[in-house]
A and B are shown apart, each in its own frame.
Chain A
């Protein structure tokens, strides 16, 4: 293999698994260390810069970082990154004076954002703070979009949404609430320099099976029902409720129903338990609240008595996979199963809907009726119009919406300044030695052997009675510190210098996970098998040095490195050093590198 180019910013970035997995590339280990040090406000600001809504995401993020966490590969469970984020939001001081202020003198460009959800607000923040005049239009009475209408209050209280959306609105963003945008043509006619569409995926998919029309009064579309609950239009539900669907919306539906009077709430899903789209922890929480999840049942018919729903009939299936791994659900032949109920919540997916975008204004759609976009720049075929969030590339999650908001803001800024959208500003990166003295590092290199901390919750009897009562209490400072110490500091990179290595093997002997090997070079497949600990996880890189004096190379499997710094402590010549890699994504207004 060729020597690894550690100068390329994505090599060390990829070693920081959590940051790499985060769509907004939040510098996770950096803020976790600050939490351990009790510097909550500093930790909050690092989050705020990258993901805009730390308090919200600390409660409801889809946390792609946690399955990626290295701790999960060398220990039982990953670091509770998401809930640590909540800690810095909960325990911070007043940070208002640290927030950027919109320049007094505007740059003369006017930008419109349609929708006041996470994507739009991210665009608004990024552009308003560099002098754009930003106007947001939203149909709701307050900002937050789907974060406010879809997520039950017992998971995300309004106060958190108010605070974090408020930081953005206070940047001088003009917001028109209760304003339905009915025509993009009309918007464009108002002469904006750029328009951002962040209208989410507002249409819930329906279950089109016999009995749907007749029993319509007791069958609700999940996301619409959740919105009605959020805004207080719906306050009760029948005793027996069936939730159809296996995603996170289904979990929110069943847990809300449980709090509104549903005694017998069940989730019934087509797929198996493992394949359900809901995050594992959301399934766990539903089960914790006494909600059974019944799998491998395809709804066949809504049964009713003269329009009054009596139950749902299900066909029992099993999953079969073809050679390509595609799944098909095959009826098992068992008799259909009837589940009696009084009301049904349908949460089987969300779709985009753009009835307000005219088909003849030059904005093209694909065959799935999604806008044709450049995936990198998020620009539509109408150069002035940009998309982000669920409206852009289909429904995902809040953190993706924020990440796309940042990208769209960069594109809109480049567009407004007449620059090439393809030449993106690079991230800011830094790599600095952490050596403070002999065996002294500026990070705590002792590896914690504690188990993952569980977030304390309020008593179930209490929370099931009050839908607005937040279930989780969040970590206290001591638990937060213990959990933060579990972080392996993957951003403190092991950097190897060929010319000072004397090949004494000290690093090989001390490494607790045996991830360093000195051997003759070879092709990657061959080399992976020849290491002291064979490197089986192929998407984890091998760090290969240039040729050493003996003709061998140093090969390090990044997969299971604990970043404990033992190799650097045992190295007599300082050929190993622990250096902190810091990467912060570019924001709108950053200049592209001149080449």
Chain B
């Protein structure tokens, strides 16, 4: 924990995005998490992604539940809207907010306790309903705030800090998200920003429920030799299926890719996902294939990362429910209360 505020002095040549903001303008308060927490790296990746995408901070709503991970929205995007819900209820509150105002960019920040234990029901339904959001789970496999008990994502057979072996079967949130209908599903690692930042950018620009499971080591309780969510273990067992380059329509494409190694996906807003294949026969548009690959590799003890599944033509909740285009707070009285004539006409049409 650092109690001093970060000095305001910047390097004089600090880059600015097209809105004239520096990266520092996307930061929040100084983190009070343990030094070296993976969650802080995820916050930094979110800052970088929003800076790169020229996102206006006041057009973002960041929602979270309870837990170490759910504290982090305080540490990035200090000028955005925020909502700390009760434990595990973030997906429902986010769904409501998204229904009320579809013009904001929604970011749900959660942890393995918040999403895989107390909030698993909320999580499941937000995915199936197709809420347009970026849902990030900062997954460390332990309950850090209560001193390191196994969480629901801890692998069977892994050990806690005191050497106790976990006997419960883990929940794989990525597998759940795939099954429940998320249209952008990825897994990454807090210690690999080169992989994580483009994945967040792609998710922010995706229409529909985008889910990213980020393995984020708990340095205090789950970064020891018996853990399967430690820096060392994840680095050794990281099995990336692809590498993503996220490209805005305005960007020039300078990179060259060897023939046959690239998968190019255009999203609904024109942004482009360049997927450099690492596993040769992996197809990120094949949902069933993705689920199979995940299970096979997991059985071998590997952690599959990368953009695992994307459906760039996915629809979202607004489309399903045929909601009004305008945010509710912009609808005038005349529109909301069209008068007795309109009521009479409606009644007549139903007779």
Interface residues of A (CB under 8 A from B): 73-75, 439, 445-447, 449, 502-506, 508-510, 512-515, 533, 536, 549-550, 560, 562, 564, 566, 569-573
Contact = CB atoms under 8 A, between A and B. Distances in A.
A535 to B, nearest CB: 10
A572 B40 CA distance: 12
B2 A570 contact: yes
Given A447-B9, A512-B7, A571-B35, A566 B2 contact: yes
B2 A510 contact: yes
A26 to B, nearest CB: 25
Contacts of A573: 36
B235 A449 contact: no
B193 A505 contact: yes
A168 B11 CA distance: 45
A497 to B, nearest CB: 14
Contacts of B23: 514
Contacts of B44: 505, 508-509
- The 4 residue pairs across chains A and B that have the minimum distance between CB atoms: A572-B36, A447-B7, A509-B44, A504-B36
A449 B6 CA distance: 11
B41 A504 contact: yes
B9 A75 contact: yes
Contacts of B190: 504-505
Interface in B182-196: 190-191, 193
B240 to A, nearest CB: 14
Contacts of A550: 235
Interface in B21-72: 23-24, 34-38, 40-41, 43-44
A549 B23 CA distance: 29
Query: Chain B binding site: helix, strand, loop or mixed by DSSP?
Result: loop
Interface residues on B, range: 20 to 34
B1 interface: yes
B36 A449 contact: no
A506 B35 contact: yes
Contacts of B36: 502, 504, 506, 570-573
A35 B51 CA distance: 42
Contacts of A509: 40-41, 43-44
B335 interface: no
B10 A505 contact: no
B219 A560 contact: no
Given A513-B10, A549-B232, A569 B2 contact: yes
A502 B230 CA distance: 10
A439 B3 CA distance: 8
A513 B11 CA distance: 5
A577 B120 CA distance: 42
B75 to A, nearest CB: 10
Contact of B9 (A502, A513, A570): A513
Contacts of B1: 439
A445 B34 CA distance: 20
Given A504-B217, A505-B41, A572-B35, A445 B231 contact: no
29 contacts: A73-B12, A74-B12, A445-B4, A446-B4, A446-B7, A447-B7, A449-B7, A502-B36, A502-B232, A503-B231, A504-B37, A505-B40, A505-B191, A505-B193, A506-B36, A506-B40, A509-B44, A510-B40, A512-B24, A536-B13, A562-B7, A569-B2, A569-B4, A570-B2, A570-B35, A570-B36, A570-B40, A572-B35, A572-B36
Q: Pick from B34, B40, B217 the residue with the most CB of A within 10 Å.
A: B40
Nearest to A534: B13
Given A503-B191, A509-B40, A509-B43, A74 B11 contact: yes
Contacts of B242: none
Contacts of A566: 2, 4, 6
Nearest to A575: B36
Q: Pick from B6, B12, B35, B44 the residue with the most CB of A within 10 Å.
A: B35
B8 A449 contact: yes
B41 A506 contact: yes
Given A505-B44, A571-B35, A571-B36, A449 B9 contact: yes
Contacts of B41: 504-506, 509
Q: Pick from B2, B7, B13, B191 the residue with the most CB of A within 10 Å.
A: B7
